[in-house]
């Protein structure tokens, strides 16, 4: 049962992460949200006026809701662990699974599928057609390695916090 909760919480985080991306890329459309995109894609993007009234506001609502779906499972995972009497290593394993599965989702779904094998970005930014594709996969591998290490450190710290209660 504990691992089912962990899997569901991880899935909720992935949905939240997608909503953050969709809100930012599809609706808010601010260049500040493209800093992790390949440099040639960043240069090609032309920001547009709102396609409909309230587009940017809707994007912020989607982004904030998505962000809450990333944070809330972590909080609930710690709360649930305290309630179940989890020890440090149980907390740590749960949090590593949650955080690192989200990172794997980022690499496989966002980078490999959305960036390299779908029409997601060209749908919102037609000027990126031809710039995004399989040749882009792995362009940011160094930042992924750093983020994986940071997430391990976050799991270490959050597991410690969970044992304080």
Instruction: State the number of CA atoms in the 13 A half-sphere of 28 facing the CB.
Output: 18
Range of the domain at 133: 2-163
Q: How many domains does the chain have?
A: 1
Q: What is the residue-averaged pLDDT of the chain? A: 91
**Entry pTM:** 0.89
Over 90: is that where the pLDDT of 96 sits?
A: yes
Question: Burial, 23: exposed, middle or buried (Cβ in 10 Å; 0-12, 13-18, 19+)?
Answer: buried
> Per-residue confidence at 38, pLDDT binned at 50, 70, 90?
confident
CA distances in angstroms from 92 to 36, 74, 146, listed in the order given:
28, 12, 19
Over 90: is that where the pLDDT of 139 sits?
A: no
Lookup result for tokens 């390299």: 116
Query: What average pLDDT does the segment 23-38 reach?
Result: 85
Lookup result for tokens 């459309």: 29
Tell me, rounded to whole angstroms, the distance of Cα 35 from its chain centroid.
14
d(CA 66, CA 29): 16
* pLDDT score recorded for residue 151: 97
Over 80: is that where the pLDDT of 45 sits?
A: yes
> Per-residue confidence at 160, pLDDT binned at 50, 70, 90?
very high
* pLDDT score recorded for residue 125: 86
> Per-residue confidence at 67, pLDDT binned at 50, 70, 90?
very high
Whether residue 95 contacts residue 77, with contact meaning beta carbons closer than 8 Å, is answered with yes
Over 80: is that where the pLDDT of 69 sits?
A: yes
Most confident of 6-10, 30-34, 38-42, 139-143: 6-10
* pLDDT score recorded for residue 147: 95
């Amino acid at each position: 049962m504990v691992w089912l909760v962990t899997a569901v919480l991880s899935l909720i985080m992935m949905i939240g992460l997608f909503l953050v991306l969709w809100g930012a890329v599809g609706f808010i459309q601010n260049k500040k949200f493209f800093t992790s995109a390949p440099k040639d894609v960043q240069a090609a993007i032309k920001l547009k006026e709102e396609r409909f009234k309230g587009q940017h506001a809707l994007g912020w609502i989607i982004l904030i809701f998505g962000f809450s779906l990333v944070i809330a499972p972590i909080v609930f995972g710690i709360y649930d662990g305290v309630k179940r009497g989890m020890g440090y290593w149980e907390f740590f394993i749960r949090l590593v699974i949650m955080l690192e599965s989200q990172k794997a989702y980022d690499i496989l779904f966002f980078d490999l599928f959305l960036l390299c094998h779908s029409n997601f970005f060209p749908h919102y930014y037609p000027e990126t057609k031809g710039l995004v594709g399989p040749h882009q996969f792995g362009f940011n591998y160094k930042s992924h390695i750093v983020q994986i290490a940071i997430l391990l450190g976050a799991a270490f710290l959050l597991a410690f916090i969970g044992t304080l209660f």
